[in-house]
Every structure is written in C-alpha cells, then in structure tokens.
Amino acid sequence: MGTARQAQQERSEQTRAEILGIALEQFSTHGFDAVSLRDIAEVAGVNHAMIRYYFGSKENLWRESVTYLFERFAEEYVPPEPGSEGFSLDAVKEYIRNYVRYCARHPEHARLMMQEANRDSERLKWMAQKFIRPRHDQTVTLIRHVSALTEGLKEIDPVMLLYMITAIAQVPYLLTSEMQYAHGINAMRDKAIEAHCDAVVAFIFR
C-alpha cells in the first residue's frame, strides 16, 4: 500500500510540475490577461477541474509558476563564493557565461519578465519583492567588487550595470525569430550560444 501511495504521489507531483511548466510558457508567451485556465488545461492535456484542484485560481497558478521559475533559477544559476580577497575574476566571468546559457535554456524567464514589466501590477510588485530584489542584492555585491577592479566600469551605477548585463545576455533569446528571418542566424545553436557567452564577457571586460 505504501509503495502504491508513493507512486501515486510521485505521479501527482510530476503532473503538477508539468502544469506549472506549461502555465509558465503560456503566461510568458501571451501574458496573464490573455491566458485562461482552460487554455492551460487544453495544452497540458488535462481536465480543467484538475488545474482548479491543484491551484485554485488563475492568480494562484501564476504565482505558483513564478515560484517554480525562480526556484529553478536559483538551482541552476548559483553565484560564486568570495574568497579571502573577494571574488575571483575568472569565477565571475564563468558566472556571466552561465547566465547566458540559462537565458538560452529558459527564454520563457525573460519573456515573462517583459510581459509583467509592461504594466504596473500587484503581480509585478510581489515578484520584485519576493524574488527579484533578494537576488539582485546578492548579485550587486559581486558587481561592486568586479567594477572596482575593472577600468571603465567604476563610474557605472552597479544596479544599472546589472540591468545592462541582463539585457545583452537575454536579447538574442527574446528575438530569436527576428534574428533568423532578418539575418539567417539560429541563436539557439550550441555553437552560437557559446559564442554569445564569449562576446558578452568580452564586451563587459573589454
């Protein structure tokens, strides 16, 4: 009985995770207002009532999917630890490369942020306070250290520099179709992603 119950629980958790992933994709592509629970249920291939059972309202499903997004972000993108003399420049460069790889692997992250940033909402305030600001506080400490050691970065406000790095890391994965149609560039190829990693690092530390 215990094994059967455990198997059922694992299936339930897998179903829940799949729904969250699809909800995240739908919200990031179409925006909160344009997506319904029925839309998500249809794409997920589950009954509408099942989503209601797991998540209740659309607002709650959005919050759960954003929590899932940032928890995954924290797991996959771990900041370097400072040594006795601060952060290693090589470690910081690899941290930036890993951010570019994360943006390529999960373009829905940047797309969701763009959807929400276009309007002033309680959802955006909640996301900024619960997830974005705590992570930025951590990253800005690292940026301040690197800026102090890097000519040309010292005069830039560290928060502004963080957003500048975020922009150049994310944009190819927000505009993949445009790059393909306008220039015949497939930004999602492994070789292209690694070239972009190198270009971002070279641009920052030129």
Please report, for the domain that includes residue 196, its CATH number.
1.10.357
Are 193 and 108 contained in the same domain?
yes
Domain that includes residue 137, residue range: 77-206
Treating both helix axes as pointing N-terminal to C-terminal, what angle do 89-105 and 133-149 enclose, rounded to 10 degrees?
140
Token look-up 């094994």 returns 3
Are 189 and 119 contained in the same domain?
yes
Name the pLDDT band for 9 (thresholds 50, 70, 90): low
Residue 69 lies in a domain: no
How far lies 200's CA from each of 150, 164, 186, in Å? 15, 11, 17
Asked if 79 and 139 count as a contact pair (C-beta separation under 8 A), the reply is: yes
**pLDDT greater than 70 at residue 23:** yes
Name the pLDDT band for 25 (thresholds 50, 70, 90): very high
Are 110 and 173 contained in the same domain?
yes
**pLDDT greater than 60 at residue 7:** no
Query: What is the domain count for the chain?
Result: 2
CA distance 146 to 27: 35
Are 105 and 137 contained in the same domain?
yes
Residue 193 lies in a domain: yes
**pLDDT greater than 70 at residue 90:** yes
Asked if 162 and 143 count as a contact pair (C-beta separation under 8 A), the reply is: yes
Are 55 and 89 contained in the same domain?
no
Are 121 and 157 contained in the same domain?
yes
Q: Please enumerate, as own/partner, the contacts of 189-198 that have beta carbons within 8 Å and a separation of 24 or more.
A: 193/100, 193/101, 193/104, 196/100, 196/104, 196/172, 197/96, 197/97, 197/100, 197/101, 198/97
